[in-house]
A and B are shown apart, each in its own frame.
Chain A
């Protein structure tokens, strides 16, 4: 090859090693914890890199978690940011990939690309009240944020957690919820369908807002909301009715994610490329797209 070194009109970027996010890193499963009380199969994998150190992350960041020969799924890191023993990934058995992940035995290996993505803007929160609203497994990307808020509880007058699940058995992190309540967090639980022994509220999470959960006005509240799109939509609407400023409401975005590098086009949601611009986005930015079905 005698191609001249004189630059062509072609590409003006230096060829570099691939972005680390393109390279799957083997992680060992050191423990597995069944998180729900029956019904769903929700399991947390506790993982550590086979070689090297556990990377840092911020609450709500996600990784592409891979099962050998099967594929990858986007899962958020749900352990506390300052827990340097392992990263926890909480996974519901849904399709072949998540099944292969939760079936990985202790001692087995999964691959991780990440963590990446926009975090909950917890360090920037300047309000007295922090409201955390979770629907279903939407509690997983919030767990690290709750742990961090509890650790920094002096910053807030109130920390409120509202968590709704389909049934009492489908609730996850029950021990954590009890511990947070003991640490001063106002924890409110609700279910869509009660079962014998449930004496808490029945109904979707927005029905708790305002009454019984009275909130401060306008600039006093910051809300982090994560759950199914429809739940986030109605929660945000209810918060707006109660006077919470749109700029104080933060939601998550979720779409089919493949590359995690803003190259494959899968995780688009209107103007957002979720792996690049999400998962956490401001309600002001997402509002007009959120209500559109099938976007």
Chain B
């Protein structure tokens, strides 16, 4: 098994840029760690980790040399692959003249293929991208914008070493180690512990210890090609590194405390559609839609038509939407889901239950974002456990 030095990771990022890829990776910006354009390992969030719980997210300093010593932030790769605003078409109207009827000309927006490399994609996020692939690219009518964004997409995954308290990927079978492919290269970061961890808070930004190394797994021909182009002195072959990498993700798995019992969960939810629990959660739910915005699999969109001042040119835009909004279910004069309870139920039953019927898998990857970013800390693992207890 190959191991990459930090210089090797830097060379990989530089090489991707040199090949024409727009390189995106995690950065600590604005109080969160989120995908951003990066040019080198210097842009990675050295010296930071994240601390998460229901309704809480804080960056905390860390003293070691980890570049990927955090879980996941509020923003996910879906912002790039399935953008919040997408043009669909423009339409020009030629008003009726003397003897000529009104005419409409439609021009579809043709999305450009942009080659992007994502560095630092978590295993749960690989699963989330695969979920969105299934919905947006492999359905009966593939979405052209999503297809163009994914067509030349290179993914360098990084396995999880520091799960958050809100994580539950093992329940969903998606992490903390990438085992289902979906990447070109997967890395496991090996970090030497600092001599005195108690100094961490004083040492923010001034990390100590030897540089981390990255145990490599190759997931595609492209990944192999990228690796083969790196300078030889950046690559090492230590027979113990495979076991070291495994122990990193084993420790991460052991540190994860939340879980969902997924056996029979779809039937549980279908049987619980008229449970009182929905009303109980609605007492807390603000229907703010934060969970759907932060969720890396939530894909719902709305269509918006706008005209210019002449009234003869119209544009259609597709924008993110949320099943927590009242207008989402508007049917004739009234919304179908008028209560907060019915909207929370729609979200949870779809995410964990009916997604199986619609797309053959769960819609949840266990990243915990919906728990962290819920302003009142509603925890779906708790809600599901309560429904299960009620049903038993």
Using a CB–CB cutoff of 8 Å, the interface residues on chain A facing chain B are: 1-4, 6-11, 13, 15-16, 18-19, 21-26, 28, 50, 68-72, 94-95, 107-109, 111, 254-256, 258-259, 261-266, 268, 270-271, 273, 276, 288-289, 292-295
Contacts and interface: CB of A to CB of B under 8 A. Distances in A.
A263 B143 contact: yes
Contacts of B349: 270
Contacts of A94: 332-333
Contacts of B300: 264-266
Nearest to B104: A26
A3 B115 contact: yes
Contacts of A28: 101
Contacts of B137: 11, 13
Contacts of B150: 10-11
A150 to B, nearest CB: 30
Contacts of B329: 255-256, 266
B336 A256 contact: yes
A193 B292 CA distance: 44
B265 to A, nearest CB: 14
16 contacts: A8-B153, A8-B184, A10-B154, A13-B147, A22-B141, A23-B108, A28-B101, A255-B331, A256-B336, A262-B140, A270-B270, A270-B354, A294-B341, A294-B342, A294-B345, A295-B337
A261 B223 CA distance: 34
Contact of A265 (B181, B299, B338): B299
Interface stretch (B64-72, B88-96, B230-238): B88-96
Contacts of A3: 19-21, 115, 152
B51 to A, nearest CB: 32
A18 B93 CA distance: 22
Interface of B: 19-21, 88-89, 91, 93, 96, 101-104, 106, 108, 113, 115, 133, 135-144, 147-148, 150-155, 181-184, 219-223, 225, 270, 273-274, 299-303, 305-307, 311, 314, 318, 321, 323, 328-333, 336-339, 341-342, 345-346, 349-350, 354, 357-358
B216 to A, nearest CB: 14
Given A3-B115, A107-B102, A266-B321, A18 B136 contact: no
Interface of A (DSSP majority class):
loop
Nearest to A104: B102
The list of the 7 closest CB pairs from A to B, nearest first, reads A265-B300, A271-B357, A294-B342, A19-B141, A261-B141, A11-B150, A69-B307
Given A11-B147, A256-B331, A292-B273, A6 B225 contact: yes
Given A263-B136, A271-B354, A15 B148 contact: yes
Given A11-B150, A15-B151, A263-B139, A68 B303 contact: no
Contacts of B104: 26, 50, 68, 109, 111
Contact of B303 (A18, A111, A255, A259): A259
Contacts of B221: 6-7
Contact of B331 (A25, A68, A72, A254): A254
A19 B301 contact: no
Contacts of B89: 23-24
A165 to B, nearest CB: 16
A39 B370 CA distance: 48
B155 A8 contact: yes
B301 A263 contact: yes
A155 B219 CA distance: 59
A258 B301 contact: yes
